[in-house]
Amino acid sequence: MDFNIRDIQLAEWGRKELDMAEKEMPGLMAVRKEYGPQKPLNGVRISGSLHMTVQTAVLIETLAELGADVRWASCNIFSTQDHAAAAVVVGPPRLGGTPEDPRGVPVFAWKGETLEEYWDCTLQALSFPGNSEAAGAGATGEAGTASASVIGPQLIVDDGGDATLLVHKGFELEQGSDWVDSPSESSEEEIIKNLLKQVHQQDSSRWQRVTADLHGVSEETTTGVHRLKRMAAEGSLLFPAINVNDSVTKSKFDNLYGCRESLVDGIKRATDVMTAGKVAVVCGFGDVGKGSAQSLRGMGARVIVTEIDPICALQAAMEGYEVKTLEEVVAQGDIFVTCTGNRDIITIEHMRAMKDEAIVCNIGHFDNEIQVTRLEQEPGISHIEIKPQVDKYVFADGHSVILLANGRLVNLGCATGHPSFVMSASFTNQALAQIDLWKNRDSYAKQVYVLSKKLDEEVARLHLDKLGVSLTRLTPEQADYIGVTTDGPYKDDTYRY
């Protein structure tokens, strides 16, 4: 690992932030309290591929407290908070770990990885020492990635699906797929292929062994769920999946309220720009777009929305946003934000037509919403790094665009991601999903599931006290009148909130 694990100050700072975050994450704390004594994940090997932030650290230590044997990587090259990683590796004070003798959870992540490092870290997180000895702390980096004694996770926590992808592509290679030798669309794809080939060379049955003992993945994002559903539809999904993203307490909270808090935060830390009076163009009006638009307007920007879906477009219009195509407004915008989950939303042609010093960023999961590669490679465009994660690209005509976080998630690349409280809701879903996947591992098929409405409501309930909310209780007569029980669930599965 590239952050200095032996930097005691980094770990100590991280620990203090974890202490603060725990008080903002009542859902995870309740899970620890309720399930900690029973250890429902006792000895279960869990690999995580999810932004290595302070909040994730609280999730990791919650899984550890439930008994799991956890290894972790980030799912984004910029999103790691090194002090959080250090704190997790050293471990909570009761374990008595030190930087020299870490006793926490191995973490393979640091802020500013190269893509090669990124995929190598993902692999490391998926690689548990094959004998009964516990895996060493991440700092040592010794968990071999190719030895035949290496074993894999029994459960995966995924965010965007990279860990799941690696397992599937590795398995397919062992089954004879020639994907690794096909032409690549991007340099990242090439890196993945090379890594898989290297693993295959050293151990040609590794992924078969891994998948044989892999009982499920819980996936965090819209994007990752989309991949999973496609695989399930094709019949190629190798293990059950719980779609955490579509818990109401995830997608309608983290995506919406999380982005409302973290988008402007990221833009401000990167550029200190005045939001008021600016024209902000938000591409996509899903949950992420809704939160993004609201926060920009809240700060005084005039927001224009682009949409492909007539229903979402009509919603945007009802909220008073102008709805146009990007082509129509590209010359007006001061700030552009992509949040579509789709590719090539802001093309090089769009950027050519923008105002001087227009700010361009993405808060969707993947970095292909903006054509960053073309920006980097087209002749006649010069590059100036203002500071890390803030880059100016100057076009031949002299105008420039300011690209944030290299087109990756701006809230994680330029700030610290969603705040703890809303991540507590998301991660309580993750923790409950992991428990559920393990407990019911024999009954789940290789399909994509969601958590029950009952659990979803429970996640919400765990977060109310912290906010001083008093919940009204139905009388039996009222419950009967609307055909529910007094304890819920209170809504149909199709209810939209």
Tell me which residues are annotated as active site. 51, 74, 79, 159, 220, 245, 250, 254-255, 259, 365, 418, 426, 430
Nearer to a second copy, 128 or 366 (CB): 366
Q: Is 169 within any annotated ligand binding site? A: no
Size of the site for a second copy (CB under 8 A): 109
Of the chain, the end-to-end C-alpha distance in Å amounts to 43
Residues numbered 393 to 422 that lie near a second copy (CB under 8 A) are 402, 415-416, 419-422
Site for a second copy in 9-38 (CB under 8 A): 13, 16-17, 20, 23-24
Tell whether residue 341 is a contact of a second copy (CB under 8 A): yes
Smallest distance, Å, CB 323 to a second copy?
Answer: 4
H or E, element range at 43: none
> What angle is formed at CA 476 by the lines to CA 472 and CA 477, rounded to 5 degrees?
105
Residue 293's nearest CA partner among 324, 318, 316 is 316
Name the region of 277 (left: φ>0; alpha: ψ -120 to 50; beta: rest): left
CB of 438 to a second copy, least distance (A): 25
For residues 239-268, which are near a second copy according to CB under 8 A? 246, 248-249, 251-253, 257, 260-261, 265, 268
Residue among 425, 484, 497, 420 nearest 455 (CA): 425
* Integer angstrom CA distances of residue 133 from 143, 207, 321: 11, 21, 58
Near a second copy by CB under 8 A: residue from 332, 373, 447, 452: 332
60 annotated ligand-binding residue: no
Instruction: Tell me if 298 contacts a second copy by CB under 8 A.
Output: yes
Closest separation in Å from C-beta 161 to a second copy? 14
- Of 148, 386, 396, 445, which one interacts with a second copy (CB under 8 A)? 386
* Nearest one of 325, 335, 338 to 407, comparing CA atoms: 338
Rounding to the nearest 10 degrees, give the CA dihedral for residues 158, 160, 164, 169: -160
Residue whose C-alpha is closest to residue 334's, from 375, 292, 303: 303
Residue 122 is labelled as binding a ligand: no
Residue 342: φ, ψ to 5°: -120, 180
Cβ distance to a second copy smaller for residue 384 or 445: 384
Tokens of 450: 């969601």
* Residue 69 or 246 with smaller CB distance to a second copy: 246
Six-digit token string for 299: 């700060």
Residue 285 Cβ vs a second copy, minimum distance, rounded to whole Å: 9
Question: Under the criterion CB under 8 A, does residue 220 sit at the interface with a second copy?
Answer: no
400-425 in b/e form (b: 16+ CB < 10 A) is bbbbbbbbbbbbbbbbbbbbbbbbbb
449 part of the interface to a second copy, by CB under 8 A: no
454 binds a second copy (CB under 8 A): no
Of 43 and 300, the one with the shorter C-beta distance to a second copy is 300
For residue 389, state whether it binds a second copy (rule: CB under 8 A).
Answer: no
Least separation in angstroms between residue 154's CB and a second copy is 28
Q: Considering the complex, state which of residue 146 and residue 474 has its C-beta at the smaller distance from a second copy.
A: 474
94-153 positions binding a second copy, by CB under 8 A: none
- Which parts of 368-484 are beta strand (E)? 382-387, 390-394, 400-404, 448-449
Q: Which residue has the tokens 């109310």?
A: 464
Binding-residue pattern over the window 58 to 97 for a second copy, x denoting contact by CB under 8 A? ----------------------------------------
C-alpha 478/C-alpha 485 separation (Å) is 9
Binding residues for substrate, as ranges, are 53, 159, 220, 250, 254
